[in-house]
Amino acid sequence: MSTHLTAGQRAWLRTELEQRHQQLKRRLDDHRGGRSRIEYARETRTQDDDDAPQREGEREVDLALSDFETQEFTEVGEALARMDRQDYGLCVDCGSDIAFDRLRAEPWASRCVGCATAREKEAARRR
Ligand SMILES: [Zn+2]
């Protein structure tokens, strides 16, 4: 278990994560109108057939936003799970403490700055 965070910091981060989780869940539910992602995608595609071409761009943005929020929702959920397992605040790659300043900006961060940067570089190279 990580010991570099005080009980107060952990409590604050947990509240942040729980609020974000609720918020994203509501947004995603609204966005999909309660439908599953696959149904949503299928319906969007069906609508595309008889719709004006200039509206397709908007819908792509819509779907991309949903993807982004789904991803973030997953990350926030995983951070809450790590908190329950007591390994929250530790880098999943190298196991070092993630600085509170970083967690304060991004409470669902799962990697230290070094590993996150290395990963981004790696991803950029593969692109
Ligand atoms: Zn690391």
In angstroms, how far is the first alpha carbon of the chain from the final one? 35
Q: Which residue has the higher pLDDT, 95 or 36?
A: 95
- Return the SS3 of 11: helix
Predicted confidence at residue 40, as pLDDT, reads 57
In the predicted structure, residue 106 carries a pLDDT above the cut 90 = yes
Is 42 part of a structural domain of the chain?
A: yes
CATH code for position 88 = 1.20.120.910
DSSP labels for 35-75? --HHHHHHHHHHHHHTS-THHHHHHHHHHHHHHHHHHHHHH
Is 109 part of a structural domain of the chain?
A: yes
Domain span at residue 87 reads 7-126
Is 1 part of a structural domain of the chain?
A: no
Cα(100) to ligand 1 centroid in Å equals: 14
Residue type, 107: P
Cα(41) to ligand 1 centroid in Å equals: 36
What is the sign, positive or negative, of the torsion defined by CA atoms of 92, 93, 99, 103?
Answer: negative
Cα(102) to ligand 1 centroid in Å equals: 12
Is 113 part of a structural domain of the chain?
A: yes
Question: For residue range 71-91, what is the model confidence (pLDDT) as tens digits?
Answer: 999 999 999 999 999 899 999
Cα(12) to ligand 1 centroid in Å equals: 23
Q: What is the spatial distance between Cα 15 and Cα 23, in angstroms, rounded to a whole number?
A: 12
Is 54 part of a structural domain of the chain?
A: yes
Q: What is the spatial distance between Cα 4 and Cα 8, in angstroms, rounded to a whole number?
A: 12
Is 76 part of a structural domain of the chain?
A: yes
Cα(24) to ligand 1 centroid in Å equals: 27
Averaged confidence pLDDT in the chain: 84
Q: What is the spatial distance between Cα 52 and Cα 88, in angstroms, rounded to a whole number?
A: 48
Total domains in the fold of the chain: 1
In which region does residue 34 sit, left (phi positive, over 0), alpha (psi from -120 to 50) or beta (all else)? left
Is 2 part of a structural domain of the chain?
A: no
